[in-house]
Amino acid sequence: MEVARAYVSNLPAGKLLYWIISQLNYAALVSHLSFCSKMMQHEQIPSPIRTQARRAQPPPE
């Protein structure tokens, strides 16, 4: 396992990310992303990123 960890840690981040994505079930990934985008559009689930963006904006005058 240590050899595998050293090999992975020496890989560039892009190649590592590509390898992880290629190992995932592509259909499950796409359905998950579409589900998340629908939730963000409807804003039924508050996103931490959206909350931070709202806080960063100056208050309306």
pLDDT tens-digit map of 1-60: 577 666 656 667 777 777 777 777 676 778 877 887 776 666 655 556 655 555 656 656
Could you write out the DSSP letters of every residue in the chain?
Answer: -HHHHHHHHHS-HHHHHHHHHHHS-HHHHHHHHHHHHHHHHHTSS--HHHHHHHHHSPPP-
Q: For the chain, which residues make up each domain, given as ranges? A: 2-56
Residue 16: per-residue pLDDT: 75
Burial grade of 20 (CB within 10 A; 0-12, 13-18, 19 or more):
exposed
Residue 30: per-residue pLDDT: 80
